[in-house]
Amino acid sequence: MKESDLYAPVKRFLEARGFDVKAEIRGCDVVARLPDPDSPPLIVELKTVFSLDLILQGIDRQRMADDVYIAVPAPDTVAKRRNWRSRRRAVIRLCRRLELGLMLVTPSQADAARAVDVLVEPDPYRPRPDRKARHRLTTEFTRRDGDPNIGGISRRTIITAYRQEALRCAACLESGPRPVAEIRSESQVERAAAILQRNYYGWFAREKRGVYRLTERGAADLSSNRGQV
């Protein structure tokens, strides 16, 4: 497929919306205007694949028009459709944030209304805050003791606030089995009971009702993470 294969369906689609459409105006693939002489231009950039170059081109065209779309072919194979589904949400979010319209074009579709699927309109971006995500972020920041990780590192266990609290509970059990109340008091971990019962890391074993001990795995992990307690 060539970029020029996308032009005819995009042109028909815009003309059906009442636009006059012309190609290759001042370097822009598609330029459209309503019949009103004072109407602002609309620009569409055509590419055979969604890429950073296409995004940068669209951003550059925003200097000339408020309404800028980027257009790419709709996925036409099983592999392409699978790849598109895996990143569709992220691509749409990116276009919305950049205030770029996004079109999926099916050149083989004769019906103008069905040949172009507008997934994003180039409207002003109004982010909707995710209050739950923000709360989780600030809670983790507040609960985490110090700064035990290195930003950008991979293939290494991240020391979370939960892990730090579990390590503090484990340290209380190093000398032997103890009741939950004592562990909570000494470790200053309010959710000690939940951490012990959940036993996410396999560090704790229940001796009897309300009493826990440290497992061999717990002792080994406590020793290797001594600096994080």
Domains of the chain: 4-120 (3.40.50.10670), 131-228 (1.10.10.10)
Work out the average pLDDT over 34-48: 92
pLDDT at 150: 83
Work out the average pLDDT over 86-100: 93
Work out the average pLDDT over 24-47: 92
Work out the average pLDDT over 136-157: 85
CA angle 54, 55, 56 (to 5 degrees): 90
Work out the average pLDDT over 153-171: 90
Classify 174 as helix, strand or coil.
Answer: coil
pLDDT at 102: 96
Whether residue 121 has pLDDT greater than 90: yes
Classify 153 as helix, strand or coil.
Answer: coil
Whether residue 10 has pLDDT greater than 90: yes
**Bridge partners of residue 101, in order along the sequence:** 69
Tokens (6 digits) for 44: 């569409």
pLDDT at 228: 66
Whether residue 111 has pLDDT greater than 90: no
Whether residue 154 has pLDDT greater than 80: no
Whether residue 76 has pLDDT greater than 90: no
Q: What average pLDDT does the structure give for the chain? A: 91
Whether residue 229 has pLDDT greater than 70: no
Identify whether the C-beta of residue 62 lies closer than 8 Å to the C-beta of residue 35: no
Identify whether the C-beta of residue 120 lies closer than 8 Å to the C-beta of residue 96: yes
CA angle 87, 118, 14 (to 5 degrees): 150
Classify 107 as helix, strand or coil.
Answer: coil
Would you place residue 126 in the very low, low, confident or very high pLDDT band (cuts 50, 70, 90)? confident
